A and B are shown apart, each in its own frame.
Chain A
Amino acid sequence: MSSTITTRFVPQAKARPPRAPEVNYLNVAYGVKSWLLTTDHKRIAILYLFTVTLMFFLGGAAATVIRLNLMTPTGELVTADTYNKLFSAHGIIMVWFFLVPVVPTVLGNFLLPLMIGARDLAFPKLNLLSWYIFTIGAVITLWAILAGGVDTGWTFYTPFSTRSARTNVIPTIIGIFISGFSSILTGLNFIVTMHRMRAPGLTWFRMPLFLWAIYAGSIILVLATPVLAVALILIGVERAWGIGIFDPELGGDPLLFQHLFWFYSHPVVYIMILPAMGVVTEIIPCFARKNIYGYEFVAASSVGIAVLSFFVWAHHMFVAGQSVYSAMIFSALSYLVAVPSGVKVFSWTATLYKGSVSLRTPMLFAVGFIALFTMGGLTGLMLAALGVDMHVHDTYFIIAHFHFIMVGGAVMGYMGGLHFWWPKMTGRMYSEFLSKLAALIIFVGFMLTFLPQFVLGYLGMPRRYHVYPPEFQILNVMSSAGASILAVGYVLPLFYLIWSLYGGKPAGPNPWGATGLEWQTPSPPPPHNFDETPIVTTAPYEYSLEETDGVG
């Protein structure tokens, strides 16, 4: 390792073809040990890809059984107890082991050093430790779920979780607690890396907006997760030793748990959506061949969302028993947090306007994101109104709202990012036809699954019940039918993406003609990312200046 570091001017826009290396991060070493003991952020991203994809399909399996059960009003498929365990499993797995980690640990880990011109993250060994901690937490939680299950819902409300639940609450909590450290360490790694390891000339306002989103998400990860840890510890202590911190008989307050829980869990939903928004902000300019509209506003909105997300948590508790004055404050603040999200939607729309739009697969996912996220977000504003929330709290309206954001938003954003950067990560292109088909199937399946649920909720169907009044059946059947289509849409990429590894066209360094430092490296990148540290002198998006060559 030489202590002489030479630097070379590399404008972000121009893709000067670097020499294709024989050695990249995938083939530099073979064998299980070289993967399990790697400190290369790119390999760690792939390790995470395996773990989170597995968790996604496990959570999806739980959802499948739920939707099958809900085909009939009498819920013939499973008992009430099993149903409770199923929706708890679905929520726990999807929230903590898929949605929170997926974009930061897969795309963030892979791209962050590349995008800032660094050779790795600030703490590479900590990065590997994060993955081990995550996987251990996942294994423990999965064991708890499969060996008896937990039926408290992913929200673990007291006093049920502390007194009455006869299920594996404590092992599940331990698994989630452990995986929380993974979140904290990853967020810490990202923040320090962005502060200290940007290439010369890469000022904060020259960073790609994906990184602003990752930074904002990391702030939330780092500051909110500790409070979840405390909430879980307190449940565990109360359950194990009968100490009544949340027990009204001892003067405790069940609402204190909800305050602590939601102080984390509301910001966590922004951890899920912010990085996905960052992905969309990278895709739109590339496939509209136009610079992002209002760069500074989008950057500021990412940080604004992160900060404001901490001010609104008790809107999950409007009917729980908090003081009305407190509820009014949180309601007003909840309206406020929608503003920076709106800024982003306006920015994307303005970027598309008079752009030269090409509907490649990543763009399909990005546009789908905008539509579905906007719908979900607007219904969120409806829920911020105390009067509306009184009626639709704990109904399918809420379920539809957050699935529009988390599935229609976050998952579609992730899929777009996966398809956008897959050529960079693997050096291969996938089938254009099949991927577009998957995007379309996902969109149609999604709408059919979740749009009826808004109606169901508004009509009064409660959530977390394994049976329902017979007049709701037609909408439930529509929803379940949609879910089966959605399932096809999610399974399809498994096939064509894996196939691309063997039979896909070699991608070259920049198949989309995109700007950004990551596209200056070969695909797949060499182990050390850059032969020479780049010096950055230009803005991150340079689409409007001149036609860049090589648009796939």
Chain B
Amino acid sequence: MASANYSILAHHFENLEQQRETETMGMWLFLATEILIFGAIFTGYTIYRVRYPRDFEAASAHLNLLIGSINTIVLLSSSLTMALSVHATRVGRQKMLMTCLTLTIVLGATFLGLKALEYYSDYEDFLVPGLRFRPGEWTELTPPANPQHVQLMLAFYYIMTGMHAVHMLVGMGLLVWLVLRARQGMLTPVRYMAIEVIGLYWHFVDIVWIFLLPLLYLTGTHHGSDLHF
């Protein structure tokens, strides 16, 4: 409808198509910067991983694989519900939109809750350098691991998952905003760019986790006894 277009089209664009393509490209370019910010930390991690492979494997074996794996599934599911929310907006199914958006938020919150649980479990397991850490525990391993290098790995673990968690929190805030917009009827088959670009952001944060899982948790061989809460 012309009047609906009238309020969507910003004054500096020629037409709606140009505006939509611009907004999409803008978000992709922003995600490219995010590739580099996470990538830079991944680079630092990789350098040390290459230098101290045994110590990093030893540290990685102590991370909570069970929670990490469950969280991966949780986040992938949230990506599905996010994609479905965008779809619902495009085809005008308001109830499906609300359901899927809410599910995405719930799944995101589940991820963050499990992450908090995991951090607490790491604390219990003496895996916090500078705060709660037993160097002797590592030198007594067979083969012995260098506790300084283990602390290095753990430092990166916290920084990388911490940065990821911060991005998740921002994403949650954006999702809540989307729910409010949806309630006001502002997410429609003609007016969907907001949920589309926020969806892109959400999927990207998921992709970061897709790489965090093998890099942090799956470096060495695991055994059934590794799985615990």
Contact = CB atoms under 8 A, between A and B. Distances in A.
> Is there any pair of Cβ atoms, one from A and one from B, under 8 angstroms apart in the complex?
yes
Interface of A: 1, 3, 5, 113, 118-124, 184, 188-189, 191-192, 195-197, 222-227, 229-231, 233-234, 237, 241-245, 249-253, 256, 260, 263, 528, 533
B47 interface: yes
A195 B12 CA distance: 15
B47 A256 contact: yes
A222 B27 CA distance: 12
Interface core residue of B10, B13, B26, B130 (most chain A CB under 10 Å): B26
Nearest to B155: A243
B5 interface: yes
Contacts of A234: 41, 44, 159
A113 B32 CA distance: 24
B139 interface: no
B33 A222 contact: yes
Given A192-B25, A197-B18, A251-B52, A237 B34 contact: no
B11 A119 contact: yes
A225 B12 contact: no
22 contacts: A3-B2, A3-B5, A5-B14, A119-B12, A121-B12, A184-B30, A188-B33, A192-B22, A192-B26, A195-B25, A196-B22, A197-B13, A222-B29, A230-B37, A230-B40, A234-B159, A237-B155, A242-B130, A244-B155, A252-B152, A256-B44, A256-B47
Given A196-B22, A244-B151, 12 more contacts: A120-B12, A123-B26, A124-B10, A189-B26, A192-B26, A195-B25, A196-B18, A196-B25, A223-B33, A231-B40, A245-B44, A252-B48
B207 interface: no
Nearest to A191: B29
A122 B41 CA distance: 31
Nearest to B35: A226
B41 A230 contact: yes
Contacts of A229: 37, 40
Contacts of B155: 237, 243-245
B6 interface: yes
Interface core residue of A237, A243, A260 (most chain B CB under 10 Å): A243
Interface in B50-65: 51-52
Contacts of A230: 37, 40-41, 44
A30 to B, nearest CB: 21
B43 interface: yes
B32 A122 contact: no
Contact of B37 (A118, A121, A227, A256): A227
A15 B9 CA distance: 32
Contacts of B140: none
Contacts, number: 109
B91 interface: no
B116 interface: no
B194 to A, nearest CB: 14
A233 B159 CA distance: 9
B30 A188 contact: yes
A343 B38 CA distance: 35
Interface core residue of A1, A113, A245 (most chain B CB under 10 Å): A245
Contact of B43 (A244, A260, A528): A260
B152 A250 contact: yes
Contacts of B11: 1, 119-120, 528
A5 B163 CA distance: 46
A250 B148 contact: yes
B200 to A, nearest CB: 14
B201 to A, nearest CB: 14
Interface in B153-167: 155-156, 159, 163
A251 B33 contact: no
Contact of A223 (B32, B51, B129, B130): B32
Contacts of A196: 18, 21-22, 25
B79 interface: no
B30 A251 contact: no
Contacts of A242: 130
Interface core residue of B5, B149, B152 (most chain A CB under 10 Å): B152
A118 B12 contact: yes
A251 B149 contact: yes
Contacts of B18: 196-197
Contact of B151 (A222, A250, A253): A250
B12 A533 contact: no
A122 B2 contact: no
A243 B13 CA distance: 49
A528 B10 CA distance: 13
A197 B151 contact: no
B24 to A, nearest CB: 10
B220 to A, nearest CB: 19
B70 interface: no
Contact of B40 (A189, A226, A533): A226
A226 B33 contact: yes
Contacts of A1: 6, 11
A454 to B, nearest CB: 35
B146 interface: yes
A544 B5 CA distance: 46
B33 A225 contact: yes
A191 B156 CA distance: 33
B176 interface: no
